[in-house]
Structures are given as structure tokens and as C-alpha cells.
């Protein structure tokens, strides 16, 4: 294909801009992300706690979460995996988009300071605390088939079916069950592109704190991750604490960690000003 000088100049300008964005996103971010939270460093004050839930091993939980509320997901046993879906409660066609979440932040890994994005360029959750940074965005949750292959029986609960049930409880259906993200799932990709499971990155008492950045519907599934090599199906309970975190200030880590985060929160602000009474 022969390009005109004008076309070549346009290509060069677009390429230069991308290279600058990439450098800012991966190397020269305005704020370096902090180390993982220490497991005993940020107890929640009793007065901040709104309610608690224990999700039994293998089960799911649904809830509404108001903007500004937070959930702490606690991996008490160190063996659990919690998969998450979420939808904008004002328009459930807006939902978690794992692909945009990782693409926009130049990282397939989730950790303190990063956000979970919707398909509409807005932030659903901020990850305000996180002890492990060992989470999976790529491989999804368990299914009847993966459980059968791993444990030799279909008589085990799985994330796919849990999400179908959870969607039903929220007035949604199978079409609304999209790809998920999974916390406490230490999956990475090796140099050959193979998935690697590193159990050493997961510890009893790990937790992750998610702050809602708009009013949400959400579903959690507490089932072993399909890449967890354990051959015995023995899911353990996870503890959930809903609490009122300190309001996000002007220098909030998640809102200022990158130019991308700043722009995503600008999109939230436009949405909130127009459709939600302040």
C-alpha cells in the first residue's frame, strides 16, 4: 500500500503520541503504586462497620453497594478465591469490563491504587487496600466442566452457575453474566505465554478493600479458581465487611495514580452530576 506524505505524517504523529502515553503509563506514572498493605496495618473501626457477611465455601452473595461504601473481602483461610461481577445500578447495561480494566491501566495485575473499569470508561471500584496483589483478570471462574475435570465430579458448586443464580437474584439473566475478575488467585503469564499458579503469593488473612465509585449491583462467587491445582474440592468461607471508608480526598491514590485514572474519574463526575442528585 502506497501512502501519501500527508498520511505518513499523520501516522508519525499518532505513533509519537502513543509512545508518550505508554511511557507515562508504565514507567513515569505521576504516582508510583505503593507496596501491598500489611495484613495487620489497617483495622476497620467498629463505628465504620455497616454490616458483615460470611459467604460459605462454594456459595455466592449479591448486594447493592452505594457510592462511597467499601467492602473488605477477607481470605481467612488463605485458600479461597473470590470472583466478582458488578453493574451500574442505574443502568445495568454498564458493567465490569475486565479487558478495559487491564488495557487502560497497562497492566493485567490488580493491586492497591488500581481501579476496576466499566465498559463505559468509568470507574466501578477503587482498590483502596490490598495485601497480596495476587489476583487474576485473564482466566475467569470455574464452570461445571472445569470442576468435573479437576475433582472428578459435577457435584460441586462453581462460579459460572453461581453467577447465573446471582444475576437472577438481581433481576438480570444469562446475557448479563460477563467475564469476571478473581481475587486471591495468584495467576501470572510466563515468558512462553503459559499461565502460572504461585500459591506462595497467597496467605491466610489476606484482604482486599473495594470502594464503590458509583451505585452498584454486585455478585461475589466463593469457589476455587479453575487454575488452582488442589485436587480436593474444599472451599473455605470468606468474610465480608461492608464499611464507610474515609471519603476520598483531592489527593486520593486511586483517583490520581495515573493520567488514565484521572480521566476515568472525570467521566464518573460527568455521569454523577447529570444523573444523580448530590
Partner 1 sequence: MTSPSMPAQPRIVLDMEIPARAPWSAIVRKGQTLRIVDSHGQQAVDTLFYCADDLQERYSGQDTLRAQGSAYISTGSAIVSNEGRTMLRVVADSCGLHDTSAGACSCESNTVRFGHGTKYLHACRENFLIEGAKHGLSKRDIVPNLNFFMNVPIDPSGNFTVVDGVSKPDDYIEMVAEMDVLCLISNCPQINNPCNGFFPTPVRVVIFEAAKD
Contact positions toward partner 1, by CB under 8 A? 1, 3, 7, 10-11, 14-15, 17-18, 21-22, 26, 93, 97-100, 102-109, 117, 119-122, 137-141, 143-146, 160, 174-180, 188-196, 226-227, 260, 263-264, 266-267
Measure the N-to-C terminal CA separation of the chain; round to a whole number of Å.
Answer: 54
Shortest Å distance, C-beta 34 to partner 1: 16
Cα gap 162→60, rounded to integer Å: 6
Cβ-based nearer residue to partner 1, 2 or 277: 2
Assess contact for 177 and 167: CB atoms under 8 A: yes
Cβ-based nearer residue to partner 1, 26 or 275: 26
In the block, residue with C-alpha cell 471500584: 125
* Residue 128 DSSP class: E
Shortest Å distance, C-beta 149 to partner 1: 10
Assess contact for 164 and 174: CB atoms under 8 A: yes
Cβ-based nearer residue to partner 1, 51 or 190: 190
Shortest Å distance, C-beta 139 to partner 1: 4
Shortest Å distance, C-beta 47 to partner 1: 36
Shortest Å distance, C-beta 99 to partner 1: 3
Cβ-based nearer residue to partner 1, 181 or 240: 181
61 - beta bridge partners?
220
Q: DSSP per residue over 24-40, as a string?
A: HHHT--SSPPPPPPPTT
Residue from 164, 264, 250, 163 nearest 214 by CA: 264
Cβ-based nearer residue to partner 1, 49 or 99: 99
Amino acid at each position: 500500500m502506497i501512502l501519501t506524505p500527508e498520511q505518513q505524517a499523520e501516522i508519525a504523529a499518532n505513533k509519537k503520541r502513543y509512545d508518550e502515553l505508554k511511557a507515562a503509563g508504565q514507567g513515569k506514572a505521576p504516582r508510583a503504586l505503593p507496596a501491598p498493605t500489611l495484613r495487620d496495618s489497617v483495622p476497620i473501626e467498629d463505628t465504620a462497620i455497616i454490616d458483615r457477611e460470611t459467604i460459605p465455601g462454594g456459595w455466592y452473595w449479591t448486594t447493592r453497594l452505594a457510592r462511597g461504601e467499601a467492602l473488605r473481602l477477607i481470605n481467612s483461610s488463605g485458600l479461597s478465591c473470590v470472583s466478582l461481577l458488578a453493574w451500574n445500578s442505574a443502568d445495568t447495561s454498564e458493567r465490569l469490563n475486565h479487558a478495559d480494566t487491564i488495557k487502560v491501566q497497562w497492566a493485567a495485575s490488580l493491586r492497591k491504587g488500581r481501579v476496576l473499569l466499566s465498559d463505559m470508561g468509568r470507574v466501578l471500584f477503587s482498590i483502596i487496600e490490598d495485601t497480596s496483589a495476587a489476583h487474576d483478570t485473564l482466566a475467569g471462574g470455574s464452570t461445571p466442566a472445569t470442576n468435573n475435570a479437576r475433582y472428578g465430579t459435577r457435584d460441586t458448586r462453581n462460579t459460572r452457575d453461581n453467577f447465573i443464580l446471582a444475576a437472577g437474584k438481581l433481576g438480570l439473566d444469562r446475557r448479563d453474566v460477563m467475564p469476571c475478575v478473581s481475587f486471591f488467585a495468584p495467576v501470572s503469564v510466563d515468558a512462553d505465554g503459559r499461565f502460572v499458579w504461585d500459591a506462595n503469593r497467597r496467605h491466610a488473612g489476606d484482604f482486599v478493600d473495594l470502594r464503590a465509585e458509583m451505585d452498584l449491583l454486585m455478585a461475589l462467587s466463593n469457589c476455587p479458581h479453575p487454575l488452582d491445582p488442589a485436587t480436593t474440592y474444599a472451599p473455605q468461607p470468606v468474610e465480608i465487611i461492608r464499611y464507610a471508608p474515609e471519603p476520598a480526598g483531592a489527593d486520593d491514590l486511586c483517583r490520581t495514580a495515573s493520567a488514565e485514572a484521572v480521566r476515568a474519574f472525570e467521566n464518573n463526575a460527568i455521569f454523577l452530576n447529570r444523573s444523580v442528585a448530590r
